[in-house]
């Protein structure tokens, strides 16, 4: 009897405390949600104002879009009259460079939504119950919405257009691809004989802009350019179930696509050539990729395939891919997306949904190697001239490095360096035999791969000095544990004078003065009332000693009325990054006071921000004095008409002091303009 009681108590304890769910290759299940109705789409979003897409919007057939933060807490919801079926984030280049959410519904409408706080009903106006409210805009596509994705049609680096796939949910019917801009205005459309199920944007011409479109209807994939002209089409055996951008050649250019149909995945390059196919045991329901944004496009580490009860990772390769790992979910996985739950600048985490359940998995770390070659100390009779270091946080494989040593147009023989695996944070010493004293130029060329199969190149030049003839030695491999700590400094350029309401650019130089790689560097500017960041974020790695120069775009507010100098604030900025061993660092870049000084028709903004270095000076053209007087008269008469006496706060938006306001009111009274 005692044994039974103890067993029951242990069982209760095990079921009371949450279990730790692990996933192969460093994945952990962090939260899941069971909703009252089936899920139709999920989308990574920025719910707060940090600019990081680590939150999730969920569309359901109950006519709601739910907004969850990265911890799985429900922040709010938006309700409509019909089921929501598609979601996409796009860029609004005018409204502070924000990224609203486009939601498609079975009522044939696409709604542009802001993040809700609490529960919001779109049709909330009782006097006009048939017109949507609480939205930025809405667009009538004329049929049910199947899919939405953002496209960079203008080729300006911002995905501010939307591609919409339509058709009937209730019968086999024709469909359309409709392109609209960020205000909901239609640009062009194409008709097809079946509903348009899936759409993605990619860059087949390799110009860094995702202005081309790949769409799927039934078992056919069609590729279009930014004007809607068909480039090529391909037909498969079964209905297409997913299509995503790809980079099979590892060039940091998303020129290719990955397509799933039935139980098969197909790798198709930009010229409509099939590079490989991979068959699975179950029907494939969704595709994704673990990636980050690079200088030219998307850097893809591997692809994710949802099939049956499994999530499988495929190596990114132009030939038959290797299966990196497979996770058994214990139930059908359904649709998946990859997103940046960790806020590390990498879409490495997974959100999956099937029926009415959402599950989120967090990737513990993406491990990447980084090999650097450093000249050794130039000491008499010391032949230790070169050091090969892996300062990254991942192991390097299949490395080959060739050395070429030159002096006075003479080439000297040198050892090549090869190894199957080089552990992270390790160091190897390389010795050479050189027959004369003097300076030698060393050229190192080679390559290595990371654990995800991506090849990295090495090209370096440097000078070594030999004092005496050295005794011949062979390559030595002496692993050494070292600590690598990154440190980033910031320098900003000064822009040319600008006019209020116009955009201006500044150049930011980030330099890593530490001895370790700064991983997943994230730069972000905030917003002030008068200066708005338009394109002012950057993510990437910064190696030791390297400098990254970034051109950032800001917009000035067009209406700032002022007569006297006043203080203003430039947008603050923040930088976060990680060391090779995963330690997080952050740097707050705080702007000090900004002096707004009027000068006749032009008001001078002198901005002295406390950025590690740099002075930013902006000029804004302002309204003249008569415009300010007119505004004062309007405000004064408005209050008098209401039987109230206006206070100073009523005129505060004009940016004038109490003393100036008093003098101006006396002047206007003496002129008979106010009483």
Identify which has the larger pLDDT, 355 or 616.
355
CATH of 371-466, one of 3.30.70, 2.30.31, 1.20.120, 2.60.40: 2.60.40
44 and 56 Cβ atoms separated by less than 8 Å: yes
Taking Cα atoms as reference points, which of 622, 602, 607 lies closest to residue 573? Answer: 607
Position 583 scores a pLDDT of: 78
At residue 275, does pLDDT exceed 70?
Answer: yes
Q: What is the pLDDT of residue 138?
A: 96
DSSP codes, 188-220: EEEEESS-EEEEEEE-TT-SS---EEEEEETTE
Q: Express each pLDDT in 448-496 by its tens digit.
A: 888 777 777 787 777 766 665 444 433 333 343 445 677 777 776 655 5
**What pTM does this model have?**
0.59
Give the pLDDT confidence score for residue 423 in this predicted structure: 82
Residue 614, phi-psi category: left (phi > 0), alpha (psi -120 to 50), beta (remainder): left
Angle (CA) 451-581-543 rounded to 5° is 80
> Is residue 402 scored above 70 in pLDDT?
yes
Query: Encoding tokens for residue 631?
Result: 């505004």
Please provide the average confidence, as pLDDT, over all residues in the chain.
77
| Domain locations in the chain as residue ranges | 371-466, 488-621, 629-670
- Above 80 in pLDDT, residue 230? yes
pLDDT tens sequence across 549-596: 777 776 666 544 444 545 555 677 788 888 766 678 887 776 544 444
Contact (CB, 8 A) for 517 and 541: yes
- Give the mean pLDDT of 297-304: 84
**Residue length of the chain:** 675
* pLDDT attached to residue 20: 32
The arrangement of strands across the sheet holding 371-375 comes to 371-375, 384-390, 426-431
H or E stretch covering 622: none
Sign of CA dihedral 644, 648, 653, 658: positive
- For tokens 């190192």, name the residue: 444
List the Cα angle 591/546/292 in 5-degree steps.
80
Tell whether the model's pLDDT for residue 649 goes beyond 80: no
Per-residue confidence (pLDDT) for residue 261, from 0 to 100: 97
At 171-225, the pLDDT tens digits run: 888 999 999 999 999 999 999 999 999 999 999 988 878 899 999 999 999 999 9
Rounded to whole angstroms, the Cα distance separating 291 from 314 reads 13
Average pLDDT of the segment spanning 407-419: 74
Residues near 353 by beta carbon (within 8 Å), at least 6 away in sequence:
39, 42, 58, 334, 335, 336, 359
Report the distance separating Cα 247 and Cα 541, nearest Å: 19
Which of 2.60.40.10, 2.40.160.20, 1.10.357.10, 3.40.50.300 is the CATH number of 488-621?
A: 2.60.40.10
- State residue 479's pLDDT score: 40
Confidence of residue 294 (pLDDT cuts 50, 70, 90): low
Cβ-based neighbours of 152, under 8 Å, separated by 6 or more: 158, 159, 160, 161, 201, 209, 210, 211
Give the three-state DSSP class for 6.
helix
3-state secondary structure at position 387: strand
Say how far apart CA 286 and CA 241 lie, in whole Å.
6
Beta bridge partners, 31, equal: 360
Count Cα atoms within 13 angstroms, Cβ side, for 401.
30
**DSSP assignment of 336-382:** EEEE-TT-SS-B-EEEEEETTEEEEEEE-------EEEEE----TT-
Integer Cα distance of 599 and 622 in angstroms: 9
Residue whose token pair is 């805009």: 137
Task: Encode pLDDT of 89-145 as tens digits.
Answer: 998 888 755 688 999 999 999 999 988 888 999 998 878 888 898 899 999 999 999
Q: What is the largest CA-CA distance in the chain?
A: 102
**464 token code pair:** 């070594």
CA distance 179 to 164: 6
Query: pLDDT by residue (tens digit) across 13-34?
Result: 333 333 333 444 557 788 889 9
Residue 3: its H or E element: helix 2-16
**pLDDT recorded at residue 474:** 38
Q: Quickly tell me which residue has 């609203």 as its tokens.
A: 100
Hey, do 371-466 and 488-621 end up sharing a CATH topology, with the first three levels equal?
Answer: yes
- 8 vs 513, which has greater pLDDT? 513
User: Residues 186, 139: contact at Cβ < 8 Å?
Assistant: yes
- Contact by Cβ (8 Å): 509, 547: yes
What is the pLDDT at residue 532? 72
Q: What is the pLDDT of residue 373?
A: 77
């Amino acid at each position: 009897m005692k044994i039974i009681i103890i067993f029951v108590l242990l069982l209760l304890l095990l079921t009371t405390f949450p279990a730790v769910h692990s996933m192969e290759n460093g994945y952990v299940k962090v939260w899941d949600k069971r909703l009252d109705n089936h899920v139709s789409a999920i989308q990574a979003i920025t719910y707060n104002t940090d600019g990081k897409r680590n939150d999730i919007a969920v569309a359901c057939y109950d006519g709601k879009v739910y907004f969850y933060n990265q911890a799985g807490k429900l922040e709010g919801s938006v309700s409509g009259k019909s089921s929501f079926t598609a979601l996409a984030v796009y860029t609004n280049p005018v409204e502070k460079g924000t990224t609203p959410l486009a939601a498609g519904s079975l009522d044939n409408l696409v709604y542009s939504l802001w993040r809700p706080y609490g529960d919001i009903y779109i049709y909330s106006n009782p006097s006009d119950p048939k017109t949507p409210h609480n939205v930025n805009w809405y667009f009538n596509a004329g049929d049910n919405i199947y899919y939405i994705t953002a496209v960079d049609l203008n080729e300006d680096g911002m995905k501010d257009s939307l591609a919409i796939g339509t058709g009937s949910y209730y019968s086999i019917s024709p469909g359309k691809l409709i392109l609209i801009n960020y205000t909901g205005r239609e640009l062009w459309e194409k008709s097809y004989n079946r509903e348009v199920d899936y759409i993605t944007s990619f860059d087949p011409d390799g110009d860094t802009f995702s202005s081309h479109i790949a769409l799927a209807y039934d078992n056919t994939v069609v590729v279009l350019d930014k004007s809607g002209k068909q480039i090529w089409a391909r037909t498969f055996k079964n209905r297409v179930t997913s299509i995503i951008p790809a980079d099979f050649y590892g060039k940091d250019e998303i020129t290719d696509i990955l397509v799933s149909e039935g139980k098969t995945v197909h790798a198709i390059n930009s010229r409509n050539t099939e590079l490989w196919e991979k068959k699975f045991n179950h029907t494939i329901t969704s595709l994704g990729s673990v990636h980050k944004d690079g200088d030219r496009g998307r850097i893809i580490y591997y692809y994710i395939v949802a099939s049956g009860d499994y999530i499988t990772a495929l190596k990114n390769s132009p030939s038959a891919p290797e299966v990196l790992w497979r996770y058994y979910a214990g139930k059908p996985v359904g649709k998946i997306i990859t997103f940046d739950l960790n806020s590390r600048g990498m879409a490495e985490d997974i959100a999956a949904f099937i029926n009415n359940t959402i599950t989120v998995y967090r990737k513990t770390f993406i491990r990447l190697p980084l090999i650097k070659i450093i000249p050794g100390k130039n000491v008499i009779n010391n032949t230790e001239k070169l050091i090969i270091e892996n300062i990254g946080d991942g192991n390097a494989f299949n490395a080959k490095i060739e050395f070429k040593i030159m002096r006075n147009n003479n080439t000297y023989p040198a050892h090549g360096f090869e190894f199957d695996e080089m552990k992270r944070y390790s160091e190897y010493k390389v010795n050479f035999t050189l027959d004369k004293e003097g300076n030698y130029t060393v050229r190192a060329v080679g390559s290595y791969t990371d654990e995800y199969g991506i090849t990295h190149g090495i090209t370096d030049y440097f000078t070594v000095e030999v004092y005496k003839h050295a005794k011949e030695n062979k390559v030595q491999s002496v692993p050494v544990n070292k600590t690598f700590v990154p440190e980033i400094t910031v320098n900003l350029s000064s822009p040319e004078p600008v006019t209020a309401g116009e955009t201006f650019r500044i150049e930011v130089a980030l330099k890593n003065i530490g001895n370790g790689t700064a991983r997943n560097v994230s730069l972000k500017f905030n917003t002030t009332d008068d200066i708005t960041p338009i394109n002012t974020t950057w993510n990437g790695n910064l190696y030791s000693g390297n400098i990254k120069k970034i051109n950032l775009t800001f917009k000035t507010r067009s209406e700032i009325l002022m007569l006297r100098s006043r203080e203003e604030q430039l947008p603050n900025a923040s930088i976060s990054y990680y060391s090779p061993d995963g330690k997080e660092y952050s740097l707050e870049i705080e702007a000090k006071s900004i002096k707004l000084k009027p000068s006749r028709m032009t008001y001078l903004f002198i901005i002295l921000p406390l950025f590690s270095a740099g002075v930013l000076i902006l000029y804004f053209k302002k309204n003249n004095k008569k415009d300010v007087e007119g505004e004062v008269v309007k405000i004064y008469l408005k209050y008098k008409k209401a039987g109230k006496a206006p206070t100073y706060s009523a005129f505060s938006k004009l940016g004038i002091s109490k003393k100036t306001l008093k003098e101006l009111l006396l002047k206007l009274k003496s002129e008979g303009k106010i009483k």
